Structure 1
Amino acid sequence: MRMGWQEPGLNDDIGMNIGPDRVDLAELQEAEQRFLRATEAHVTALITPWWQRALNCLRPSRGPTAS
């Protein structure tokens, strides 16, 4: 970051992107996937009708299936 402050200012949006040549974001991939799964579950819960959620609570859990 310190080196970035010493570079001249940018005049376009393309220059605002931080490429893999500057920062390796590979270690964030697992956290990103967890975030996406949690977000999907949250949105699914929001858009599932109340009566369907109630029926799902009443149904017995099947548990893992044998393969």
Structure 2
Amino acid sequence: MPAIDTQLIARELPQLIAREVAHMSIIAKREVDHRAIETFLVVFTCIFGIGGWMYWMMRQK
């Protein structure tokens, strides 16, 4: 008997995938688009992260 039952996988996998996709669409659904806020936070982090590092490096001299 093989260690992996391919017939069982072939029979059950489509049902499992369909069920998971249905649940993922419910979980991943967003009410508000956060792209603008996320972009602002990335830019803010980059500017102050790099700027803070440069300030710290200049103070080390």
Query: TM-score if structure 1 supplies the norm length?
Result: 0.38
Q: More helix per residue: 1 or 2? A: 2
Which structure has the greater CA radius of gyration? 2
